[in-house]
A and B are shown apart, each in its own frame.
Chain A
Amino acid sequence: MVQAGELSTPRRSRTPRAAHAGGRSRHAPRWRVLAVFLLPAVLLYSVFIVYPLLSAFDYSFFEWRGIRQAGFAGLDNYRDLFGVYPYDRQLWRAFAHNALFFAGTMLIQNTVGLLFALLLFRYGRGKRFLQAAFTTPYLVDPLVVGYLWSLLLNPTFGPVNALLEAVGLDSWALPWLGDTRTALPVIIVVNAWQWVGFPMLLFSAALAGIPAEYHEAARVDGASAWQAFRRVTLPLLTPAIGVVSVLTFIGNFNAFGLVYAMAGSTGSPAGSTDVLGLLFYRVAFVEGGVEAIGRSSALAVLMFVFIFGVSLLATSYFRRRERMLV
């Protein structure tokens, strides 16, 4: 691998220069060629990402009557989200649930993912098969996963409770998705079940990139397995931890499909699983009032700004940590 890299570097730098020197007079300028290559991507990106984002931003500052703009509203739509009952409560409740969702996922999904990666790294047996097995659930859409699990957990007809009762654990046969105390944790666990393969793969790749000498040196110095992990492996995983954390954060604060499939648009039961995605869905589509477009756009903008801002801060924080490693 190292050799191949060394071989390719000089060649890669030589060829474009040759292309330049020989081609400037006879060919179209380089930027034009580049533009042609970039154009499709830029076009698609603008049409499907930049334009909707900007229009949501624009919409959020107007008063709406159905799909007719009824005049500039300033920050009214934003004020409504924080001031009109019950949105004022639902917004913070949904935000808190997203935060819990994120904390729970970090704790369960990413810790277990790291554990799996370490185990697979140390005991290579069946590695390929297990990696494939752990990552299979994320080939399935969250809506489908949510639907399947809600069938499994159905209190009247579901096999999970039937199984618990069959082995004598009757007191464990709870209405998992119907109890305000268990619903959100169950959704967090199902979400982790689906995505645990993702941190596992990233951590596996990062573990493979840590030179074996470091571990040997630690062992020679008399470090215990835990010390070696805590003082050598974990710090060197910082870049991977950074990537996993930021992606988990983005995914969890945008959560919708799984929660919708398991808890409906109202975040059943009694709003105990309500998240920002569901709140947006309700304001925009379910209630469908005349003001829906303005308020839902305002919420979309708030969510974007928050997720984008925190992701930037987190990324720069992890960059700094990485630099401290060198």
Chain B
Amino acid sequence: MRYRRLPALAAASPETRKARRRTRWIAGAVGALALTLAACAPGGGAAGPGETADAGKVTLSLWSWRVEDVKAYEKILAAFEKSHPRIHVEFKAFQATEYNNILATGLSGADGPDVAQLRAYGGLQPLVEAGQLVPLDGKVDALSGFDPKLLEGAKGHKDGKIYGVPFAYQTLQVLYNKKLFADNGIRPPATWDEMIAAARKLKAAGITPFAVAAGPDATWTLPIVHEIFGNARYGSTKFRDAVLSGDKKFTDPGFTASIKLIKDLEPYFPKNVVAVKIPDVQALFATGKAAMYPTGSFDLAPVLQANPSLEVGAFQVPPPPGSPVSTPVTPGWADGSFGINAKSPHQAEALELVKWMATPEFGRLYATELKQLSAVPGVSPSDPLLAEMAAGYAAHGAPYMLLVDFRYGQPNGDAVFRDELQKMLAGQTDPAAVAESLQKGVEQWFKPGN
């Protein structure tokens, strides 16, 4: 009932001054609030990251989605600052899931980064089309030595210009538990039939042959699993070129057969695979309850972190029967690149940094500090297993086509495909219908021959 006192305050004359004071106080508070809001607004007052700290020294801000890599980047960037004493680089990491929006907003304002880690392929296009990045053609000479397959990930889809220096690539293969293989008398398979025989043997021994998840958090890994087992079956790079030129469609019998492989392998996946999540399969593999893990090179570090004593090997899946390709294939893609904000006030310094990121010095530091495959030509990983994966990609690499070519429009091919694959594993559709849906989805925006 306190509200009744307020009008009373205003009424009686001794109280009037108090009331006035209160009114003024409230008005003041509102004013202060407005000021605070203004200060919070982007571009409001506060010193931007590009301000010069002491005379002549420039501070660049570098944005990334790798929160887990902050320490490693500080070490890497220290090397840059040593050779470039006039430039200080501030590394700022954001949650990977929120990064795209944060970056798009940051690049549109005055407080954005000078240099930013950029997504590859379709994920790069919104920034390119909004004119938020600086084209690097003719500015970074070292780019001419980069693998053209990886450069594709840093190009504008329409203008073909390069907008970033690729930093890493990922490869797809099967990781396996060396001890479980030895205990069961299994060697890395040389043929598809050998692989199936091994899976059958492991299953009989009570071990999950393939650690595959298709649960709510894992749908994005299903197209990866399909790539690993099916790339050779659908015809690898040749099929990709045929789809891009319009000679073939995803409804091609070869592609449908590659989808069917996943359905055929289901008995060797964990039980109720549609309810199994990524942490579950990582745990299964790390604790020796599953013997093989079809996944990307990016998963090696987390698996070893979960169980440092695990002895891990890797093999390329042998071509399934009926494959138009006779050698095993390692699918891969460019992970992302580093590019320059078009609005950065320190273009020259930002270019210096990006140029340095194309040097072997950066590549080596990146590979050793982060245990990833560097995109810089000539840099080989120090880890023997990663080196093996890199060699596999160099010898028989192929683009993971749904990620590389079919994320340029909505719905992206990858998104349609993963839903359909999950549906198939849930028993709601069949391989031919999956292929049809995928074709129908990409047809909404994809025009062959461009």
Residues of B within 8 A of A19 (CB): 7-8, 10-11
Q: In whole angstroms, what is the CA distance A291 to B407 when docked?
A: 12
Q: Which of A267-283 contact B (CB under 8 A)?
A: 268-272, 282-283
Whether B1 is near chain A, meaning CB under 8 Å from some CB there, is: yes
- Shortest Cβ distance from A256 into chain B, in angstroms? 14
Residues of B within 8 A of A295 (CB): 410
B428 and A288: CB pair below 8 A? no
Whether B397 is near chain A, meaning CB under 8 Å from some CB there, is: no
Residues of B within 8 A of A157 (CB): 280, 283
Which of B1, B11, B283, B428 gathers the greatest number of chain A CB atoms within 10 Å?
B11
Residues of B within 8 A of A39 (CB): 30
A68 and B216: CB pair below 8 A? no
A22 and B11: CB pair below 8 A? yes
A288 and B219: CB pair below 8 A? no
Segment with Cβ contacts to A, from B125-133, B310-318, B323-331, B365-373: B125-133
Q: In whole angstroms, what is the CA distance A289 to B406 when docked?
A: 11
- Shortest Cβ distance from B111 into chain A, in angstroms? 15
Residue-wise interface mask of B (82-111) relative to A, using a CB-CB cutoff of 8 A (1 in contact, 0 not): 000000000000000100110011001000
Whether B357 is near chain A, meaning CB under 8 Å from some CB there, is: no
B274 and A178: CB pair below 8 A? yes
Closest Cβ neighbor of A263 among chain B residues:
B216
Whether B418 is near chain A, meaning CB under 8 Å from some CB there, is: yes
Closest Cβ neighbor of A18 among chain B residues:
B11
Residues of B within 8 A of A87 (CB): 411
Whether B437 is near chain A, meaning CB under 8 Å from some CB there, is: yes
- Shortest Cβ distance from A143 into chain B, in angstroms? 13
Closest Cβ neighbor of A259 among chain B residues:
B216
A66 and B130: CB pair below 8 A? yes
Residues of A within 8 A of B11 (CB): 15, 18-19, 22-23
Residues of A within 8 A of B216 (CB): 150, 177, 262-264, 266, 268-269
Whether A287 is near chain B, meaning CB under 8 Å from some CB there, is: yes
Segment with Cβ contacts to A, from B52-60, B147-155, B176-184, B419-427: B419-427
B280 and A154: CB pair below 8 A? yes
Whether B441 is near chain A, meaning CB under 8 Å from some CB there, is: yes
Q: In whole angstroms, what is the CA distance A270 to B430 when docked?
A: 13
Closest Cβ neighbor of A176 among chain B residues:
B275
Q: In whole angstroms, what is the CA distance A15 to B1 when docked?
A: 14
Q: In whole angstroms, what is the CA distance A270 to B421 when docked?
A: 8
Q: Which of A236-293 contact B (CB under 8 A)?
A: 262-264, 266, 268-272, 282-283, 285-292
B16 and A67: CB pair below 8 A? no
Whether B271 is near chain A, meaning CB under 8 Å from some CB there, is: yes
Q: Pick from A85, A154, A285, A289: contact of B409, CB below 8 A.
A: A289
B10 and A27: CB pair below 8 A? yes
Whether A321 is near chain B, meaning CB under 8 Å from some CB there, is: no
A28 and B270: CB pair below 8 A? no
Given contacts A39-B30, A269-B275, A85 and B418 within 8 Å (CB-CB): no
Residues of B within 8 A of A282 (CB): 415
Closest Cβ neighbor of B127 among chain A residues:
A66
Whether A156 is near chain B, meaning CB under 8 Å from some CB there, is: yes
Residues of B within 8 A of A292 (CB): 126, 410
A270 and B215: CB pair below 8 A? no
Q: Pick from B8, B23, B126, B441: contact of A28, CB below 8 A.
A: B23
Using a Cβ–Cβ cut-off of 8 Å, how many residues does chain B contribute to the interface with A?
67
Chain B binding surface, main DSSP class: helix
Whether B76 is near chain A, meaning CB under 8 Å from some CB there, is: no
Q: In whole angstroms, what is the CA distance A270 to B275 when docked?
A: 11
Closest Cβ neighbor of A274 among chain B residues:
B419
Whether A131 is near chain B, meaning CB under 8 Å from some CB there, is: no
Residues of A within 8 A of B403 (CB): none
B418 and A266: CB pair below 8 A? yes
Residues of A within 8 A of B291 (CB): none
Q: Which of A210-246 contact B (CB under 8 A)?
A: none
Q: In whole angstroms, what is the CA distance A22 to B10 when docked?
A: 9
Whether B123 is near chain A, meaning CB under 8 Å from some CB there, is: yes
Whether B191 is near chain A, meaning CB under 8 Å from some CB there, is: no
Residues of B within 8 A of A68 (CB): 129-131
Q: Pick from A47, A67, A178, A286: contact of B272, CB below 8 A.
A: A178
Residues of A within 8 A of B170 (CB): none
Q: In whole angstroms, what is the CA distance A287 to B441 when docked?
A: 13
Residues of A within 8 A of B419 (CB): 86, 266, 270-271
B4 and A11: CB pair below 8 A? yes
Residue-wise interface mask of B (234-269) relative to A, using a CB-CB cutoff of 8 A (1 in contact, 0 not): 000000000000000000000000000000000000
- Shortest Cβ distance from B10 into chain A, in angstroms? 5
Q: In whole angstroms, what is the CA distance A23 to B13 when docked?
A: 9
Closest Cβ neighbor of A11 among chain B residues:
B4
Given contacts A66-B127, A68-B129, A178-B274, A287 and B280 within 8 Å (CB-CB): no
Given contacts A23-B11, A155-B272, A287 and B411 within 8 Å (CB-CB): yes
Given contacts A36-B30, A40-B33, A178-B276, A268 and B219 within 8 Å (CB-CB): yes
Whether A31 is near chain B, meaning CB under 8 Å from some CB there, is: no
Closest Cβ neighbor of A181 among chain B residues:
B426
Residue-wise interface mask of B (1-34) relative to A, using a CB-CB cutoff of 8 A (1 in contact, 0 not): 1001001101100001000000100110110011
Whether A129 is near chain B, meaning CB under 8 Å from some CB there, is: no
B426 and A67: CB pair below 8 A? no
Residues of A within 8 A of B131 (CB): 68
Q: Pick from A8, A33, A286: contact of B10, CB below 8 A.
A: A33
Residue-wise interface mask of A (50-94) relative to B, using a CB-CB cutoff of 8 A (1 in contact, 0 not): 000000000000000111100000000000000011110000000
Which of A65, A150, A268 gathers the greatest number of chain B CB atoms within 10 Å?
A268
| Given pairs A269-B216, A289-B410, 14 additional interface contacts (CB within 8 A) | A8-B4, A12-B4, A26-B16, A66-B130, A67-B132, A155-B271, A264-B216, A268-B274, A269-B214, A270-B429, A287-B410, A290-B126, A292-B126, A292-B410
User: Which residues of B does A touch, CB under 8 Å?
Assistant: 1, 4, 7-8, 10-11, 16, 23, 26-27, 29-30, 33-34, 37, 97, 100-101, 104-105, 108, 122-123, 125-132, 214-217, 219, 270-277, 280, 283-284, 407-412, 415-416, 418-419, 422-423, 426, 428-429, 437, 440-441, 443-444
13 A-B contacts, Cβ less than 8 Å apart? A39-B30, A65-B130, A66-B126, A66-B128, A66-B130, A66-B132, A86-B411, A86-B416, A150-B216, A178-B272, A264-B217, A272-B426, A287-B412
User: Which residues of A does B touch, CB under 8 Å?
Assistant: 8, 11-12, 15-16, 18-19, 22-23, 26-28, 33, 36-37, 39-40, 43, 47, 65-68, 84-87, 150, 154-157, 175-180, 262-264, 266, 268-272, 282-283, 285-292, 295
